[in-house]
Structures are given as C-alpha cells and as structure tokens.
Amino acid sequence: MGHTPWPFIAHWCRHRSRYVPWPFALWRTAVPVWSRVALLLLVLTSSARGDDPEVVPVFVPRQDGFASIRIPAVVVTNGGALLAFAEGRQRNADQARNRIILKRSTDGGRSWGQVTVIAEAGDRSLNNPCAVVERTTGTVLVMYQSYPAGVAERSDRIVPGYEGELVVRNWLITSLDEGQTWTSPRDITRQTKRPERVTTLAGGPGIGIQLRQGPHAGRLLMPFNEGPFGLWNIYAVYSDDRGATWSLGEVAPGALVDGANGRRTSQVNEAQLVELRDGSVRFNARRWSGQAVRKTCVSADGGQTWSKVTDVPELADPSCMASIIRQDDLADGGRTRWLFSGPQSTKRENGTVLLSTDDGETWPVKRVLCPGSFAYSCLVPLPDGTIGCLYEAEGTSQIVFVRFTLGWLTEETESKKPTRN
C-alpha cells in the first residue's frame, strides 16, 4: 500500500465514525503518534476484513413527488460527488410522462440531497438515463430517449425515421459543475439512430464508459439497443471529441434467433459495456430469450463492430437489467477487477455481486448483497476504494444505495444482511 498523508487519514477517519469509537478532536489533541499508527492499522484491518454493507434510501416514490421512480444510474464526478439518476414516473408504467431526475451526494452516498428534475418534455415520456464522466474535462454527460405522448414502447404506432411526433428521439444533456446545473437538451437522434426499420431505442440504462487503453483511448462509448419491440439489436454509439459529435456503430451479429414458436425474436435487450485490459470492449446484455444467462460479445475496434452474441454461463439472468464495471486498484499495483451486480435467481431477487480478475472469463467470487427483491442496479467505484450499488428494492418500490468493501465481498463467511439507516 502506498504512502497516505496524515491529513487524508484524519479526514477519512472523521467521516468513518462507525470505525472510530471516539471524537475526532481526541485524534489531534490526545492521541500520541504511536497510537495513531495503531488506530490506522486497526481501521485498515477492519476495512480489509470487510464491513457490513449499509443501505441508504435514495429515491422514494410519493415522498419525492412521483407515483413511481425506477431505472437507476449512478456516476462519481472528478470532484468525488455521487450523482444518482432515475425516471420519475407519473404512474407505474414504462411510459408515463416520465421525467429524468437527479439526487447528489457529497459524502460518499451516506446522505443525499433533494430530488431535482433535470429533463422534462411535457406529455412525452423520457426513459433510460445513461451517464458517463469525461475524465479530462470533468463533464458529466447523460443520454436519454423521449417516447411519443401516450404511446408505449411495444406499440406499433411508433414509426422509424427522424421526423414527426411518433418517432423515438435521443437526447443529450451535460453538466460542467458536478451535476449542479445542466445544459438544455440537445437532439442527437440523427447521429445515434438508424433511419430505417428502427422504432424503439434505448440507451443503457446505467452508464457509459471512456476507454483507457489502445488506439481509441479517450473515446466515449454509450451502450444501446434498437427495436422494433422484441427484435432488438445491441450496438454502441461513440465520440472521439468529448461528446461534441457522435458516431453509430454496427449491431452485434447473432442477436436475432428463431424462437420456440418458430418466430424471429431477440436474445438481447438492455446492455452495459466494460473495457478489457487491452482496450477491447465487452457487451454484457440482458437476456430476452434463450438460456437464462447474460449475453455477451466483444469489439476489438472501439465499439464499431462486434463478435457474435454468445452466452455467459456463470451469470444467471431472469431477464433483468444488470450492471458491470471495471475497477483499477492503484493501491494494489493497478490490479484490474470486474464487478457485476444482478439477480442470481429465476426471479428478480437474490441480488448478488460477482468478481472477476481475468476480464470476465471466470467469476470465482460472489456474495449476496440483497437476498430479497432486487431488480435494476448500477455499480460505481468510489474514490476511497469501496464500491457503491444503486438498486431497485422491495419490488421496485424504492431505489436505495449500498456501499461495500472488497474485503466484505471476498470474505469466506456466510453473507451478512445489510443494515438499514
């Protein structure tokens, strides 16, 4: 472990009161240096062992002004603020005059501010917040789609193309101040949607990524699926100019198959992206049909083309959005880990976190985060080395945030039930 300046340790301990059994003032005035060292070792040992995850409610319908709140996404800004996004719905339906809403946390997810509406479009429904932080500038980018007023995603009233009230549009908003203010929406439909055949359109939901390695380092990538309903293909849109303009990648081959009834159907739906060590990119997609496991494919050219869609046997999927992230541990020699969260059951329950250290080839470590109801989720690596998970709990009746350590995840003891604030 590298050198950690004492001011940082003091700040860390001050905000980790559940690990420090006396007031912080005593640290500065009454604790000799040798005792500080001993305390530091105790704190770090406690973190290494792994502590019980702590659940904090974030979005609560009615209380936060909406009949239903669903579809979580979360990112951490360059300054360390957590931004949690969701759909604020007027009723419990996918298209219900939804708004895109936000809450911020400046203490690592232990508390959250008031709900803010960051995008609305009258009677049209806004769906699928998908966020990414551009590392160089710190700009936060959020894509979402707008659906025709009073029209559900499965409706055959939705038409292809770019013009008219019955097309699905793709929008982008950005923030330059850690999510405190946002630009007016910019219509990027023509850059991110094919003109023929495509009716439905969905980004993520969840997060995009920015490539770190290879010839496309710095590229922003957003995951998408396109319809018609039930005939989805997955693809990426990408930007090499920090989000000023966007290009459309090819769809992954093999997504469409013959169903049990002989009709054409799709294997995939909502999807997320993760970067491999060599700079190539892997899709991790929700299963729509076929074996009840996650679906995947790989791009060697920065998301422009993809290998054929295949199964991920180790990751069960009852047909639910899930999350996958890469964590580079600088304190562990830059070791790369992938973390996955999703319901490991035949139902949307038994929310489990799995860990891979070989670019997703195997998932030898797993632990139940929430044994009960667990639907859509979004993982985020936090600045202090812990991991956060924003997920739909209690039958999607609320969205909560939980943070856990790698020590907790890798403990060989029986899973501990998270404690609620």
Catalytic sites, residue numbers? 94, 270, 376
Q: Which of 260, 197, 253 is nearest to 229 (CA)?
A: 197
Contact 338, 322 (CB under 8 A): no
Own/partner long-range contacts of 309-313 (Cβ < 8 Å, ≥24 apart): 309/234, 309/252, 309/253, 309/254, 309/255, 309/267, 309/268, 309/283, 309/285, 310/254, 312/284, 312/360
For residue 27, report the phi and psi dihedrals to the nearest 5 degrees.
-55, -45
Q: How far apart are the first and last CA of the chain?
A: 32
DSSP of 100-111: EEEEEESSTTSS
Cα–Cα distance for residue pair 212/174, rounded to 1 Å? 21
Cα–Cα distance for residue pair 111/403, rounded to 1 Å? 12
- Pairing of the two strands 54-59 and 419-420: parallel
Contact 81, 109 (CB under 8 A): no
Contact 305, 249 (CB under 8 A): yes
Contact 118, 102 (CB under 8 A): yes
What sign results for the dihedral spanned by CA atoms 417, 51, 340, 384? positive
Cα–Cα distance for residue pair 286/343, rounded to 1 Å? 11
Give the amino acid at 379.
L
330 secondary structure, DSSP code: G
